[in-house]
Structure 1
Amino acid sequence: MLSAEQAITQMLAEVQPLVQQETVPLAAALDRVLAKPVLSEMNVPGYDNAAMDGFAMRVADIKPNQPLVVVGKALAGHAYTAKVPSGSCVVITTGAVLPPELDTVVMQEQVNLTQTETEQHIVCQLVPLVGEHVRRAGEDIAKDQPVFAAGHKLRPADLGLLASLGFASVTVIRQLNVAIFSSGDELIAPGQPLPDGHIYDSNRYVIAAMLQRLGVKILDLGLLPDEPAAIEQAFLQAMANADVLITSAGVSVGEADYTRHILQKLGDINFWQVAIKPGKPFAFGKLNHCWFFGLPGNPVAAVVTLEQLVQPILGKLSGEAPVAEGTLLRAECQVALKKQPGRQDYQRGWYWQDGQGLKVKTLGRQSSGMLSSIANANCYIVLPADSASLPAGESVLILPFSTMLR
């Protein structure tokens, strides 16, 4: 058996990112991967401006008990364009252009304001520094400065930043096309009567939902019976229309598990088992130009292998720059944990923080067939392959769920 790290390394070495590009409107760019670097075409801010409401002036004009004449107002969106004589100042609001003759802003709470019938005067309560409460042009982003690198996956805040720079569209890698199907005579589509000895097809729904979080296009080939002709036809359809095919069940040895045999007929197989629990039966291969991932049939095992093993590979195929793996945290386990040495275990748990630090506990039974153990969890309790059962109170490693499961 391969360790999870060996399996991921081997798969990453096999696959290459997509290269096809397309230009999409900014409103459609969420979770898309940039095909080339984005450079700013302007300074942000584009001009010297006030960081808060107050009075704009020259520091050199400020003398103890020496009033300054208020000669006008600079408002956001309405610049003060007249000359500001020596010994004068202007009212200024946050974001307004700083008149070029002036070099600082004093908050309105730090001046004494007096008014006559013809004019207003202020006396500063302190002598500010040059540039105080002033945002300089290009202070946030300078013209021609790199904003995002190629391979960056766009997040909500990124779209706002691009919009603030005037970009209406971006060039991205085309979306990965991922085909999925479930197979098994024991499976019934949700909403249909459930005969004895059958279960509802849950895997396809959770797999599709997790894939949606990755921003890929999904081709759902449906629920297939354990018939070689139907399964082979689905493989051929995926080979013609998808970059990736992900199946659930059919990768372990069994008299009705045809996926393994058809894959051997149509493509190349890299490996079939990984030393993790749940998720030991796992397949990775190539069908012409379509990559194949065969997940276990047990629902929790399918979820774990998709998140832990397949997600990094889909990221590389999508052109996404390598990202740091999820951070393992230390937590005190509040319950005893059962484990046999041999495979790395991903037990489902719930972690929280109290005054003494991070705590974690498992949530009910850890059967790989019980989706409730993962639906009610927010992390994995990661137990190394060589570890055994642990008593309550031990320090353990936890891995918070990625965005695929949150």
Structure 2
Amino acid sequence: MLTVRQALDFLMGAVRPITATETISTLAANGRVLAADQRSLLDVPPADNTQMDGYAVRAADCASGDALLPIAQRIPAGHVGAELTPGSAARIFTGALIPPGADAVVMQEQCELVTGEGGDRVRIKHAPQSGDWIRLRGEDIEAGSVILPAGTRLRAQELGLAASVGLAELPVLRRPRVAVFFTGDELAMPGEPLKPGAIYNSNRYTLRGLLENLGCEITDYGIVPDTLAATRDTLRAAAREHDLIITSGGVSVGEEDHIRPAVEAEGRLNMWQIAVKPGKPLAFGEVRRGQGDEDAAFFLGLPGNPVSSFVTFLLFVRPFVLKLAGAASAEPQSFLLRADFDWAKPDRRNEFLRVRVNAEGGLDLFTNQGSGVLTSTVWADGLIDVAPGQPIARGDMLRFIPFNQMLYPT
């Protein structure tokens, strides 16, 4: 069996990223992947402006630290002031452009308004330095600079940044087209009565939700009968219009497990079984799109046990789909956190245990780590990566991978 690292490296090396592109409104680009570098159309800020409400002055006029200056003008945000004459001040508000001639802003808390018959004046009770509280033109972004590189998966903040420099449209890669189906005569759908020996098909809901989070276009073929012929028919149909086929169940070696022979008949199987717990029976291969056609859809077969399916999706399918989609980054962030539990029964495989962060910043372990216990995935905040044969003692520092890093990719 391959190690987790070997399997992941193999999968990532096999991906052929999507290259087809389209141009869409920036408003509609949330979750999409940029197809090309995006450059700013302007300097940000576009001109020198004030960071504070206060008074724009010439620093040399206030060197005494107690200057009394006439207020020559008032400059709200969105308005352009006149040139500041020597020995005067301009009342100015956050975001307003610095008038020509001024080289500093004194915040209003360091000033005192003095009214009189000769007009309003301001006492500057601070000796400013040239440049104080001024945002310089282009100090954040220079016109023509790359603000978002190709391969960026766009979030709310990237959309805001693109809009801030005037980008109304963005070139993005086509969404991955993913087909899913589920095998097992024991499966029933919620809302149907359960026959003896039947179970509800929870994996359909879990996997579809995970794929939706990754921005995929999904075709759901539902539950496929447990026969070799039906499995082959569905694989052929799914391969024609999709980049990736994902199945759940039927990947073991029993007489009723038809996924492996079906994939081998319709294409090829490149990887089978990984030294991981939960989730050893993970299959990877390709399904031909036609007789003699070298073009093929990727295939990933997940275990049928719901936790095994969930964990193997996060560890292997998620990075595969992100790279398929053209994303530059696919590895989730992880953190070292303290174990507040003991685990004295290590497995010979690489284990990924469900844990939760407690109020003291340590990790608590879900008591039942069985591969069918879906409640553990709801209770937990993430997974810990436990090396083969590694026991855990209270106080050990463990690699913790939060679910929010894997369920909602950055």
Task: Tell me the TM-score normalised to structure 1 length.
Answer: 0.95
Residues 114-135 of structure 1 show CA distances to partners (whole Å, capped at 9, x for unaligned) of: 1113411112111101010111
1:401 alignment counterpart: 403
- The 2-side partners of 1:104 and 1:310 are apart by 55
Contact 2:336 2:397 in 1 (8 A): no
Contact 1:55 1:91 in 2 (8 A): yes
Residues 305-343 of structure 1 show CA distances to partners (whole Å, capped at 9, x for unaligned) of: 110011111111111113444314131232x32534410
- The 1-side partners of 2:88 and 2:134 are apart by 18
Residue range with higher mean Cα deviation, 198-207 or 105-114? 105-114
- 1:316 equivalent to 2:318? Answer no
Contact 2:319 2:331 in 1 (8 A): no
- The 1-side partners of 2:393 and 2:46 are apart by 61
For residue 147 of structure 2, give the secondary structure of its aligned residue in structure 1.
Answer: strand
Contact 1:19 1:173 in 2 (8 A): yes
Contact 1:34 1:151 in 2 (8 A): yes
Deviation at 1:391, TM superposition (A): 4.8
- Superposition map of 1:2-13 within 5 A: 2-13=2-13
- The 1-side partners of 2:332 and 2:168 are apart by 32
- 1:369 equivalent to 2:360? Answer no
Deviation at 1:13, TM superposition (A): 1.5
Which one-letter code corresponds to 1:373 in the other structure?
S
Which one-letter code corresponds to 1:279 in the other structure?
G
Gaps of 5+ in 1: none
- The 2-side partners of 1:353 and 1:304 are apart by 25
Which one-letter code corresponds to 2:243 in the other structure?
D
Contact 1:333 1:395 in 2 (8 A): no
2:76 alignment counterpart: 75
Gaps of 5+ in 2: 289-295
- The 2-side partners of 1:111 and 1:125 are apart by 6
Which one-letter code corresponds to 1:342 in the other structure?
R
Contact 1:21 1:35 in 2 (8 A): yes
For residue 282 of structure 2, give the secondary structure of its aligned residue in structure 1.
Answer: strand
**Percent of aligned pairs sharing the same letter:** 38
1:100 alignment counterpart: 100
Aligned pair count?
400
- 1:342 equivalent to 2:368? Answer no
- Superposition map of 1:17-32 within 5 A: 17-32=17-32
Which one-letter code corresponds to 1:76 in the other structure?
A
- The 2-side partners of 1:222 and 1:8 are apart by 28
Q: 356, 360, 364: which one pairs with 2:363?
A: 360
- Superposition map of 1:196-211 within 5 A: 196-211=196-211
Q: 311, 316, 338: which one pairs with 1:331?
A: 338
For residue 206 of structure 1, give the secondary structure of its aligned residue in structure 2.
Answer: helix
2:388 alignment counterpart: 385
Residues 334-358 of structure 1 show CA distances to partners (whole Å, capped at 9, x for unaligned) of: 2x3253441001111112352xxx3
Which one-letter code corresponds to 1:398 in the other structure?
F
For residue 264 of structure 2, give the secondary structure of its aligned residue in structure 1.
Answer: helix
For residue 67 of structure 1, give the secondary structure of its aligned residue in structure 2.
Answer: strand
Deviation at 1:385, TM superposition (A): 1.0
For residue 367 of structure 2, give the secondary structure of its aligned residue in structure 1.
Answer: coil
- 1:302 equivalent to 2:309? Answer yes
Contact 2:357 2:381 in 1 (8 A): yes
For residue 389 of structure 2, give the secondary structure of its aligned residue in structure 1.
Answer: coil
- The 2-side partners of 1:341 and 1:327 are apart by 22
Contact 2:332 2:406 in 1 (8 A): no
